[in-house]
Amino acid sequence: MAASRPARKGVAIDATSADTKTRILDAAESLFMEHGFEATSLRSLTTAAGVNLAAVNYHFGTKEVLFQAVLTRRLDPMNQERIKLLKGVEREAQGRALSCEKVLFAMLIPALKIARDEKRGGKNFLRLLGRAYADPAPFIRHFLSGQYAEMIGLYKEAFLKALPHLSRQELTWRLHFVMGALSYTLAGTDAVKLFAQMTAVEKYDDELLLQRLAPFLVAGLKAPALADSRKLELVSGD
Amino acid sequence: MAASRPARKGVAIDATSADTKTRILDAAESLFMEHGFEATSLRSLTTAAGVNLAAVNYHFGTKEVLFQAVLTRRLDPMNQERIKLLKGVEREAQGRALSCEKVLFAMLIPALKIARDEKRGGKNFLRLLGRAYADPAPFIRHFLSGQYAEMIGLYKEAFLKALPHLSRQELTWRLHFVMGALSYTLAGTDAVKLFAQMTAVEKYDDELLLQRLAPFLVAGLKAPALADSRKLELVSGD
DNA sequence: ATAGAATTCAAACGAGCGTTTGAATTAGGC
DNA sequence: GCCTAATTCAAACGCTCGTTTGAATTCTAT
């Protein structure tokens, strides 16, 4: 069991090791995104980062902790900004009902800002995040739940007020769909060509992407609730 | 290099080995779903299936081929049924414009039927499929592209006619969002509690799930197209 | 300058992986 | 009943994995 984050005597913070740690985090962000968690070996990772193999265990303890650190570095500020933005919009409305668009945009804007800012991970990080959403590993799922709990709670309340025709249960499902479309879309790389010719026609552009996604999601959220008595007849015969 | 699918003399087809192959496929479907491709070892898989370790390589050649076989077994019939259903709806319309709902339901119904039918993989398979959509492994992405090419092409044309206000490009994006919400939702297990209290309130029910998803997707698909000249102002300042 | 802590490094550890092998076993056509 | 091909099996191969170790090195406070 190595000391997982040894602190210097009394110095600022990690003058020399900061470089090593950052190099590891950067390489990890890129490789985890490209190959996933299991398929990325610490040997290829440390080679790409230009550090010694043992550096990961020295600075982070285990590979799993490293993965969480990669996510935390970007995700925590992003979710904090989402919360701040939502509170700003709510203050601005002064009790009046918020529009669904306003709430949704408060959620999307921090993601968009990250996509634009290479220094904060850029598209790479968002794609990694999209992958993480769908990863079956329990430690990833637990971690994400924790990271999102506060933000999701606040947004659920806000959407509930903006979409009074939806029950709490209906809204929960719709937010699930929203996160699905968002994460799947963010996870897409140029290699994803299930729907061909797209990448040929227009360059992959995360800003344009979110601008196309937003109207789709707003319309979906605003759709009338499914009345329990009049269920959709999906299957005629069996 | 083992013979990857040796045929008996002239006998029906794989009288004895069919059992072994099926047991492997069933165990693989369940384990790949639960842990993902990389994290599932052939040793745990063959133990769960009650067959010898070497049986996978004997019957399938490699682990990757086994994974593809797991998907093909269910996916190929499902997509064939989707195509059949779409053609039926189109014949029924006799040239009249199809509604967006009709096209979407033709796409969802075969998935719903599988979810209901444990003998065809049931919910397990759909969740595995949802995971596979988000897997970064190139051999999985290539395989899925191939499996979906024909079906996606036909549905894109159908949606294009049902949604004349959308350009081909816009539609491509929206189908992307649809697949995202669908696969993410299908991949969800009870362990997924990003949005808590859901599983507590209502039992996980794939039929109800698709009935909630459909209105959301229909509304999203029907949403007005984004006019290029009047882009959404997502970010005010930077 | 020096003591002591923090960090880097090369090397190794034990475990688990996918796959291969060759003998033992089973089943079907004659 | 025998021959042959298909299948099962236990064992091993070679490799890569995440992690640990202990010595060498670098840095910093005194």
> Residue range B3-15: average pLDDT?
38
Q: What are the distances in angstroms from CA A133 to CA A10, A47, A180, B82?
A: 39, 27, 9, 28
Interatomic CA distance for residues B63 and A198, integer angstroms: 32
What's the DSSP call for residue A62?
Answer: S
- Token digits of residue A212: 């196309």
More confident residue, A100 or B9: A100
Q: List all nucleotides in chain D with at least one atom under 7 A from a protein Cβ.
A: 5-12, 16-22, 26-29
The per-residue b/e assignment along A40-63, b for 16 or more CB within 10 angstroms, e otherwise, is bebeebbebbebeeebbbbbbbeb
pLDDT-derived band at B207 (thresholds 50, 70, 90) equals low
Q: Which of A10-14, A118-122, B63-67 is predicted least confidently?
A: A10-14
Give the CB-side neighbour count of residue B216, counting CA atoms within 13 A. Answer: 27
Per-residue pLDDT reduced to its tens digit, B210-237: 788 999 999 999 999 876 544 555 544 3
Per-residue pLDDT reduced to its tens digit, A158-188: 999 999 999 998 998 899 899 888 887 777 6
What's the DSSP call for residue B6?
Answer: P
CA angle A105, A108, A112 (to 5 degrees): 125
Domains of chain A: 16-61 (1.10.10.60), 72-223 (1.10.357.10)
Cβ pair A201:B109 closer than 8 A: no
pLDDT-derived band at B123 (thresholds 50, 70, 90) equals confident
Interatomic CA distance for residues B136 and A139, integer angstroms: 19
Q: Give the pLDDT score at A198.
A: 46
Interatomic CA distance for residues A87 and A83, integer angstroms: 6
Show which of residues 199-238 on chain A sit within 8 Å of chain B, judged by CB atoms: 201-202, 207, 209-224, 226, 231-232, 234-235, 238
Q: Which of B234, B236, B238 to mutate to test the interface with A (most CBs of A within 10 A)?
A: B234
Q: Which residues of A touch B174 (CB under 8 A)?
A: 212, 216
pLDDT-derived band at B51 (thresholds 50, 70, 90) equals very high
CA distance A103 to chain B (A): 12
